[in-house]
Amino acid sequence: MAIDPVCKMTVDEKLAKLKSDYKGKTFYFCAPGCKAAFDENPIRYLGKAAPKGCGCGCR
């Protein structure tokens, strides 16, 4: 299982339809909003807790 870097939800890599590659690593997402937020600014989400109100609509 992977962790969505935006909202920190668990995502099954085998079933995930949303993913992005960044610096040689694949990241998986629970919702289109999470993927869009990550694609816009990946550095914001790497190595940090999910920001309050990430705005992805998954919670």
Alpha carbon 53 to its chain's center:
14
Residue 54, domain member (yes or no): no
- Give just the sign of the alpha carbon dihedral 46, 49, 55, 58: positive
Residue 7, domain member (yes or no): yes
Residue 56, domain member (yes or no): no
Q: Is the CB of residue 54 less than 8 Å from the CB of residue 6? A: yes
1-57 tens-digit pLDDT: 999 999 999 999 999 999 999 999 999 999 999 999 999 999 999 865 555 556 666
Residue among 26, 27, 1 at smallest CA distance from 12: 1
Q: Which domain holds residue 30?
A: 2-45
Residue 52, domain member (yes or no): no
The predicted structure's pLDDT at residue 34:
95
Residue 53, domain member (yes or no): no
Residue 38, domain member (yes or no): yes
The predicted structure's pLDDT at residue 46:
87
| Count of domains observed in the chain | 1
